[in-house]
Amino acid sequence: MKYRYRTVIATALVAALTGSLAATAAAAPARPGGLSRVDFNGDGYADFAAGTPAGWVHGKWRAGAVTAFYGSARGVTAAGTATLDQDSANVPGSAENGDLFGAATAPGDFDGDGYTDLAVGAPLEDVGSDVNGGSVTILWGSATGLRGGSTVPDPAPAAHDRFGAALAAGDFDGDGRTDLAAGTNGSTLYVFRKGISRGGRAGALATRVLPLRSAPEAGIINLTAGDVDGDRRADLMVDGYSPTLWTDGKYHNVNYFVPGTSTGPSRTVAKKMPGGVAGAIGDIDGDGYGDIVTGIWWARSKPGGAIGGQVQVTYGAAGGPSSRTQTISEESGNVPGDSENWDKFGSSVALGDVNGDGRLDLAIGARQESLTLWGQVHYGVGTVTVLAGSRGGVDTTTAPQYFYPGNHGVPGTPLWAQFGSAALLTDLDNSGGADLVVGALGQDNGDGTVTVLPSVTGTDGSGRIGTDGATEIKARHLKMDTTGIPRLGSVLDGSLEASVINSNTW
């Protein structure tokens, strides 16, 4: 990343979760391509969570909250949600100014009871006298959804701040139990292994120091989990900044691929990868290996081109990330639009099987794309492009699907909506095809919205994203305090947007 260091908290959630969910009558089976269903209430329908770290709670600014959206035969509705914050019953702590509860989230069945739980980071929470020490809370799944929670103790509070700045869940050691990886503003990765009890205690702890910049506002800023090498253990992409200044006087973004081993993420292997925020891992080409999708929204679309952003796909192999890569921008094939400065193409990415062919398809958000509509320029509208997975990788030649507010049944208004600030592909109604969930943090005067576009069966018999029955859920529908502009839609399961604290992003 070739710009000066910025205050960043990354919020990647594990849509590419590979940890095994305990089997119960209500638990959903593993889905094609290595994705696992998130099911907080065990009813067999996929659920998802939206973090609203900028939300006000009982007059406390940016205290933060998370909302569980429960899937059903009708998809999701505002009535089928539950919002939890640190003032909710049986949730540890209390809502305080600037905690940013919900800035990072990760779903997984941590206690092995068959219900998906949700790990939630509050990276700027004061813990006793430790200012901005940060906290991680597990909200427990149950037959009635997310209820109550437990605190995961920080294993080294004196060594860092911002515990819970990044989270990812997966079975990193292959023992069949879901583990939790956590980042801070230091360079040490903490992995809570062998399950987490209702008391918040893990069966084992693994640590790994990585060559990343440690600073009050640096450290591990993003984590993404998925099985890249096909060994049935989750691997990690760990994102941060180079520890030294480059010759241009800047700190550069860097990723490390850390494979899973029998003792958790490897303590010896860390393959340096190109910069960018890895937002999803899953099998796009159907070869049995997870592919790494990285959004680089600050990149040039081509040498000398606009800073419109791009997405890089690194294809997996038995040895981990291979040399086979694919770069996608608005200049690629039939991808709609033109690369223009600060479109932020790649500001969110998501994987899911929309068309039902067993290969994962790719949704890409460009949250600041401006469009000329009805003879007038609308700035910061934001778009989402959906591209099909194929045996050859992401298909940019077949006509993709393209969505923005106000277009052919997509709810919302276009002006500075920032549609695509977060994205998720998951089958909410068990129709057999992944539905598209989109966050638009600028929509509704900055309060933010979550829009669900359901999958439908096309004329050729395959699935595609449709707009009939589309649902737009606003912050006020969830009875959120909109005094401080909560920006609902800034964090979704599977979202990757690296958000800037104390800026207009939240």
Distance CA 372, CA 74 (A): 34
- Spatial separation of the C-alpha atoms in residues 119 and 7, rounded to whole Å: 23
Instruction: Identify the segments of the chain with pLDDT beneath 70.
Output: 1-35, 494-506
Asked whether the beta carbons of 170 and 191 are under 8 A apart, the reply is no
The whole-number pLDDT of residue 397 equals 95
| Contact present, 153 and 201 (Cβ < 8 Å) | yes
State residue 177 phi and psi, 5-degree precision.
-110, 145
How far is 18 from 32, CA to CA, in rounded Å?
11
Helix (H, G, I), strand (E, B), or coil: what is residue 159? Answer: helix
The whole-number pLDDT of residue 483 equals 86
Give the per-residue SS3 of 12-49.
CCCCCCCCCCCCCCCCCCCCHHHCCCCCCCCCCCCCEE
> pTM for the whole thing?
0.92
Token digits of residue 250: 């800047």
% helix / strand / coil in the chain, to the nearest 5? Answer: 5, 40, 60
Position 35 scores a pLDDT of 55
Task: Specify the pLDDT at position 458.
Answer: 78
Q: CA dihedral in degrees (426, 429, 433, 436; nearest 10)? A: -40
Name the residue with tokens 């399961």. Answer: 493
d(Cα 252, Cα 164) in Å, to the nearest integer? 22
Structure tokens of 232? 């049935």
Dihedral angle sign, alpha carbons of residues 385, 391, 393, 397 = negative
Residue with tokens 């600028």: 442
Name the residue among 255, 299, 217 with its Cα closest to residue 8: 217
Give the C-alpha distances (Å, rounded to integers) separating 328 from 59, 89, 331: 44, 46, 8
pLDDT tens for residues 250-298? Answer: 999 999 999 999 999 999 999 999 889 878 999 999 999 999 999 999 9
Report the distance separating Cα 322 and Cα 340, nearest Å.
30
In a 3-state reduction of DSSP, which class is residue 81?
A: strand
